[in-house]
Structure 1
Amino acid sequence: MPKTEADENPVLINEDVELVQAALRDAAEKLRPALHGYCARMLGSTIDGEDAVQDTLLRAYTAIVAGSRPPEMRFWLFRLAHNCSVDLLRKRRPEVSLDMEYLSEAADPHAHDPLEIAMQKESAQAAVSSFLQLPSAQRSTVILKDVFDYELSEIGQFLHMPLTAVKAALHRGRARLGELAKTPVQRTQTLSASPELRRFVEMFNNRDWPGLISMLSEDVHLSQTARAELRGRQQVSSIFYKGYGEVQGWRLQEASIEGYECAAVFLDDPNTPAYFMLLHWQGDVLKSIRDFRYARYVMNGAEIMF
């Protein structure tokens, strides 16, 4: 029988489950941006990355209720995030290789080599989508080392890889990202905004809340990532008047991200969006809104097009 997350951690009978749940909530709040950064790069998608984070936290809560007592919360959550990312890749992108076969030769990445330092900085700044072009072992090691600064020994423990394989995967992954950075990016053609999105953006920017609310379906679903879930026109309408309506100086603009049209939200910086909203329509009726207002970490490495 395959092991579960609960099986990997010893059960401590005297441990207060409420204390462990509180520790999980505290860790989740602090680590959520980092967990998303890892998942998004593993999946090559900032949107799928947030789905993986939500699945990670659900698995963690379920495992704790079942008796799991992780000895170290951060390491455990990252391990769960890795597993969730792999599962989501298998489901949504079966064409992506998940081969974790290790490289036989180990090129030692010298920590003080100026070239290696430059490659590490380049890796940390690479767009989310570029990581998906690396083999799985290289992708994981580069993310853990160059984005989150894990020790090589920790990465080996995390991925169940020998140290020589970690060094080799890191070296080759950095080199491959460097090659990708020099390759001209083939931009996907910007999506032409739908009439519904243009109307939504115009009404929002004019603060025409009655007109905007008239576009909502009776069973509309608003998900404010990492904050609230609202259902039904009455509940969602209150957000426009009491939430969005109370913020001054922000505006929306039609955009696209990862092939989906979205509403980019501009706040303090008129040239750089602070976050975005994903809108799902059924005809000209708005069925759901996925609002990343409270999860602005999704913008790190995201590629929004106008």
Structure 2
Amino acid sequence: MTGSQDESIAATRLRAFEREAASLRARLHRYASRMVGSVIDGEDIVQEALAKGFVAIRNGDMPDKTEPWLFRIAHNAALDFLRKRALLRGRESEVELDMIADENSALDARIAAEASLAELMQLPPAQRCAVVLKDVLGHSLEEIGEILETSDTAIKGALQRGRESLRKLAAAPRMAPPRPALDRQDMRRLGDYVAAFNARNFDALRGLLAEDVKLELVNRLRADGKEYVGNYFGRYADETHWHFATGLVEGRPAILVTSPERPDGPPRYFILIDWEDGRIAGIRDFLFADYVMDGLEYSGTP
């Protein structure tokens, strides 16, 4: 086989992986966000998992089944994230053999699907993993075993414990989360940004960009530098289907983007702005990643 043929085969495999990865992205995010308790951090984990997958494919690795392989990468990335955040707790591998779960519980599936990210984070990682894969994403025990590379008995034990904990949480009265401490100056800046956007005063916004500003249109593109990021506002200038409002996403200041016909309705997506010395240092826009809205905890500005 010639070098050009090898390159053609590698390119074909990479394109096939790109298509499959794109089709799995929302499910991977649903899993990752519930493992780490944040749709924002969950997106970071998905990006890390996909990047590792692309590198492996380019290096010639060809998994028999892409889905469990990618979920395994995302699972390990989530655990690494939790370890770094010093939130890993409990004993992941020790499961009592007599705790055998009914693998087809409609009630447990409903409870898990309705559980908030904060509630799921109260489970140890092994239990959380089993519950999310089985009751939220609908994987079979065999598929979960492929992802985690562990036995049915261990999975059933973790699933049983996780379900029992979620039932107790579902039956308990829900406490309102504590209000976050907000930086008044950042909230004022964000309010000014939103007002300028809704007034379509994009030249004023371009004037606020730092020279080394970074833009991420999640799931679409990245750009660095004031000149390139300034073009970002042109897309919004050409459209009329958005309305901006200040709010909170997972306790941090954010822009909630709604329909102009229903400005008080639920957000379609959100945008995060980072400030440095009074200038815009970073923009993270989730326009092309609406899958992150699944499980998102948000509110209007208090």
- The one-letter amino acid paired with 2:116 is A
Structure 2 residue 34 is matched with structure 1 residue 34: no
What is the aligned-residue RMSD (CA, Å)?
2.0
Residue 269 of structure 2 is matched in structure 1 by 275
What is the Cα deviation at residue 14 of structure 1?
10
Residue 199 of structure 2 is matched in structure 1 by 206
Residue 3 of structure 2 is matched in structure 1 by none
Any conservation in 1 of the 2:196–2:205 contact (CA below 8 Å)? yes
TM-score, structure 1 as length reference: 0.88
Any conservation in 2 of the 1:225–1:292 contact (CA below 8 Å)? yes
Structure 2 residue 68 is matched with structure 1 residue 75: yes
SS at match of 1:150: coil
Measured in 2, the distance between the counterparts of 1:14 and 1:195 equals 53
Find 2:40's aligned residue among 47, 56, 61: 47
Over 3 Å counting, the alpha-carbon distance change for 1:111 and 1:71 in structure 2 is closer
Find 1:104's aligned residue among 87, 96, 121: 96
| Deviation by residue 1:135-164 (Cα, 9 ceiling, x = unmatched) | 111111101101111111221232233222
- The one-letter amino acid paired with 2:266 is T
What is the Cα deviation at residue 187 of structure 1?
1.3
Any conservation in 1 of the 2:68–2:146 contact (CA below 8 Å)? no
Residue 164 of structure 1 is matched in structure 2 by 153
Measured in 1, the distance between the counterparts of 2:7 and 2:223 equals 38
Residue 120 of structure 2 is matched in structure 1 by 131
What is the Cα deviation at residue 81 of structure 1?
0.7
Any conservation in 1 of the 2:211–2:225 contact (CA below 8 Å)? yes
Matches within 5 A, 1:134-149: 134-149=123-138
Q: Where in structure 2 are there 5+ consecutive unaligned residues?
A: 1-5
Structure 2 residue 261 is matched with structure 1 residue 261: no
Residue 233 of structure 2 is matched in structure 1 by 240
Residue 152 of structure 1 is matched in structure 2 by 141
SS at match of 1:28: helix
SS at match of 2:281: strand
Over 3 Å counting, the alpha-carbon distance change for 1:131 and 1:76 in structure 2 is same
Any conservation in 2 of the 1:44–1:131 contact (CA below 8 Å)? yes
Any conservation in 2 of the 1:197–1:254 contact (CA below 8 Å)? yes
Q: Where in structure 1 are there 5+ consecutive unaligned residues?
A: 1-12
Any conservation in 1 of the 2:68–2:143 contact (CA below 8 Å)? no
Find 1:21's aligned residue among 1, 7, 14: 14
Residue 185 of structure 1 is matched in structure 2 by 175
- The one-letter amino acid paired with 2:176 is Q
TM-score, structure 2 as length reference: 0.89
What is the Cα deviation at residue 102 of structure 1?
3.0
